[in-house]
């Protein structure tokens, strides 16, 4: 999944229910040229038994028909080796690992083994619980199996209080997973975060502000009678309205937000630097007092030489320009000598305690 400046839009029903429902939804979606990929759940992981658990294999036939008719690449969720085998047999283009599967390393490993030697994009949803290492672990397992075309889907987390969401977005995880998995495209699934249609716009826009590479939004030709996730699915026209309401200018949004983030980082670092300089200056003062009490010279060439060598070595190690660090050390040193001189002079001119009496 290549990242691009235009967000990749994945849409389609939560679950495949009938050939008609699939085809009508897909026909509606292709009217909006911004939809790139058609999704459908074929095997549904349900919290309680007895709920609709997906149509299984026959849904793959409908999906193949959708692809033939609309030309849209197709994506399905896989949770075990058999799902992988059947999805590949029917020519599904993209697979995704669901939140309830990412949570289980045994299941992810089973998928990784089934995918060994297969060249197909795989998207990994975050685990239901907010454990970023588990998310990363799933990505690594697939990568070790030779899957290189990987992507991540942020679909929110189950937390003690998800209100008003179905799954809490914990937006900070976007930055965290980005730095842990640099270069891996990151999608957002506003449908499973929001859980309700009226929140989709806010959630989608926030995700776009954070620079996600794409959105996965559930759609259904008649959402109210959907067999799963009825309250969060939109009609194809509803999707078009939603997309029209969003500022999709991805690059512009991402760079504006990034600049804002970077500037606040610089602000914080500058504040840290100033606080550290204050602490350093205070320590210099105490050194001055010690030197005065012990009649030592302020400038001690041996110590200064060692200090510079040590700091330059560190600067080289971490990749800070040597002449830059030497200039800063010079300025710090001048200031430190100044502080110590003040201590000495104050001592020389202050009246003796007895005189104050
Ligand atoms: C889905 O995409 O329909 C789905 C089941 O999602 P999740 O794994 O995020 O719950
Ligand atoms: Mn769903």
DSSP code, position 352: P
Regarding the beta carbon of 192 and ligand 1, being less than 6 Å apart is answered: yes
DSSP assignment of 160-223 = S--TTSSSB--THHHHHHHHHSTT--EEE-HHHHH-SGGGHHHHHHHHHHTT-SEEEEEB-SSG
Residue to substitute in 47, 100, 154, 192 for testing ligand 1 pocket (most ligand atoms within 8 angstroms of CB): 192
What is the reported pLDDT for 355?
36
Ligand nearest to the CA of 227: 2
Residues 165-172: contacts with CB within 8 Å, 24+ apart? Answer: 165/193, 165/194, 165/195, 165/199, 165/203, 166/192, 166/193, 166/194, 166/195, 166/196, 166/232, 167/128, 167/192, 167/193, 167/195, 168/130, 168/193, 169/193, 169/203, 169/206, 169/207, 170/130, 171/206, 171/210
* pLDDT for 354: 40
Encode the chain (357 residues) as per-residue pLDDT tens digits. 544 467 999 999 999 999 999 999 999 999 999 999 999 999 998 888 989 999 999 999 999 999 999 999 999 999 999 999 999 999 999 999 999 999 999 999 999 999 999 999 999 999 999 999 999 999 999 999 999 999 999 999 999 999 999 999 999 999 999 999 999 999 999 999 999 999 999 999 999 999 999 999 999 999 999 999 999 999 999 999 999 999 987 666 667 767 776 777 677 778 779 978 998 999 999 999 999 999 898 888 899 999 999 999 988 876 788 999 999 999 999 999 999 899 988 877 765 444 333
Residue 265, pLDDT score: 64
- What is the reported pLDDT for 315? 87
Cβ–ligand 1 contact at 197 (below 6 Å) = no
Task: Look up the pTM and report it.
Answer: 0.73
Ligand 2: centre distance to CA 224 (Å): 14
Cα 299 to ligand 1 centroid, rounded to whole Å: 68
């Amino acid at each position: 999944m290549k990242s691009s400046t235009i967000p990749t839009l994945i849409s389609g029903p939560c679950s495949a229910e009938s050939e008609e429902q699939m085809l009508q939804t897909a026909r509606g979606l292709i009217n909006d040229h911004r939809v790139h990929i058609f999704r459908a759940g074929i095997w549904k992981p349900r919290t309680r038994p007895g709920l609709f658990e997906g149509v299984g294999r026959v849904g793959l036939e409908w999906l193949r028909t959708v692809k033939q008719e609309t030309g849209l690449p197709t994506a399905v969720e896989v949770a075990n080796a058999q799902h992988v085998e059947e999805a590949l047999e029917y020519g599904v283009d993209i697979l995704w690992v669901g939140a309830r599967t990412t949570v289980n390393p045994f299941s992810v490993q089973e998928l990784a083994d089934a995918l060994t030697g297969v060249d197909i994009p795989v998207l990994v949803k975050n685990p239901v619980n907010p454990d970023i290492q588990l998310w990363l672990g799933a990505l690594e397992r697939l990568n070790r199996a030779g899957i290189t075309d990987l992507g991540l889907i942020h679909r929110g987390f189950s937390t003690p209080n998800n209100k008003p969401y179905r799954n809490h977005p914990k937006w900070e995880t976007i930055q965290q997973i980005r730095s842990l998995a640099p270069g891996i495209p990151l999608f957002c699934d506003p449908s499973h975060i929001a859980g309700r249609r009226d929140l989709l716009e806010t959630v989608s826009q926030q995700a776009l502000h954070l620079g996600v590479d794409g959105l996965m939004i559930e759609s259904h030709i008649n959402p109210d009678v959907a067999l799963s996730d009825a309250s969060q699915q939109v009609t194809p026209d509803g999707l078009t309205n939603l997309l029209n309401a969003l500022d999709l200018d991805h690059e512009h949004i991402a760079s504006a937000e990034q600049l804002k983030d970077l500037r606040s980082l610089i602000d914080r670092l500058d504040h840290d630097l100033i606080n550290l300089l204050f602490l350093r200056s205070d320590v210099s003062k105490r050194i001055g007092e010690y030197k005065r009490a012990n009649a030592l010279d302020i400038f001690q060439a041996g110590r200064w030489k060692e200090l510079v060598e040590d700091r330059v070595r560190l600067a080289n190690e971490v990749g800070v320009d040597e002449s830059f660090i030497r200039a800063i050390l010079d300025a710090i040193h001048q200031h430190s000598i100044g502080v110590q001189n003040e201590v000495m002079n104050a001592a020389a001119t202050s009246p003796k305690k007895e005189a104050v009496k």
